[in-house]
């Protein structure tokens, strides 16, 4: 049950958390656990290994925005420290948890579209240099 290859932009399938090939099947089985395969087109998600990329991008992006707003509010209004505790920490938590899943889906879709795979060295174990130059 395969479907012909379609070109779905990785950002679109990522935001929808859908299969990068058909754009309809679910990509996740749990909150962040990938399904073994698409339930619509049968694409195996064994190729997908975004590793720590989504967490890094989300923590960096959300952290910069939230801390920027925190600094602006501190300079402009000088609220008590408890206001920061009840606003900044929940904003960081909600921002990271809310964007982690779509960013992971986007990276998986990008891996599929660009046929990314583990790096391999063709010359592993061989010396490809000319000893006469030494």
Each residue's pLDDT, cut to its tens digit, for the chain (134 residues) gives 444 466 688 999 999 999 999 999 999 999 999 999 999 999 999 999 899 999 999 999 999 999 999 999 999 999 999 999 999 999 999 999 999 999 999 999 999 998 887 777 766 555 555 555 55
Q: How far apart are CA 42 and CA 14, in angstroms?
A: 18
Asked if the structure places residue 14 within a domain, the reply is yes
Asked if the structure places residue 32 within a domain, the reply is yes
Quote the pLDDT of residue 116.
Answer: 84
Asked if the structure places residue 131 within a domain, the reply is no
Quote the pLDDT of residue 119.
Answer: 74
Asked if the structure places residue 65 within a domain, the reply is yes
Quote the pLDDT of residue 124.
Answer: 58
Quote the pLDDT of residue 127.
Answer: 55
Question: What is the number of structural domains in the chain?
Answer: 1
Asked if the structure places residue 122 within a domain, the reply is no
Could you list the residue range(s) of the whole structural domain that residue 41 is in?
10-115
Asked if the structure places residue 18 within a domain, the reply is yes
Asked if the structure places residue 1 within a domain, the reply is no
Quote the pLDDT of residue 7.
Answer: 64
Q: How far apart are CA 107 and CA 38, in angstroms?
A: 16
Which residues are within 8 A (CB) of 36 and not within 5 positions of it... i.e. 6 or more apart? 29, 44, 45, 46
Quote the pLDDT of residue 3.
Answer: 46
Q: What is the pTM of this model?
A: 0.81
């Amino acid at each position: 049950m395969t479907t012909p290859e379609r070109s779905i932009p990785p950002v679109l399938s990522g935001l929808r958390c859908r299969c990068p090939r058909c754009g309809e099947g679910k990509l996740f089985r749990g909150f962040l656990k990938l399904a073994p395969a698409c339930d619509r087109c049968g694409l195996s998600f064994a190729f997908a290994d975004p590793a720590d990329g989504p967490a890094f991008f989300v923590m960096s992006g959300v952290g910069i925005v939230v801390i920027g707003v925190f600094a602006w509010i501190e300079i402009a209004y000088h609220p008590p420290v408890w206001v920061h505790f009840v606003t900044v920490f929940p904003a960081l938590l909600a921002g990271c948890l809310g964007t982690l899943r779509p960013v992971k889906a986007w990276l998986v879709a990008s891996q599929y579209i660009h046929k990314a795979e583990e790096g391999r060295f063709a010359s592993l174990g061989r010396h490809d240099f000319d000893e006469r130059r030494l």
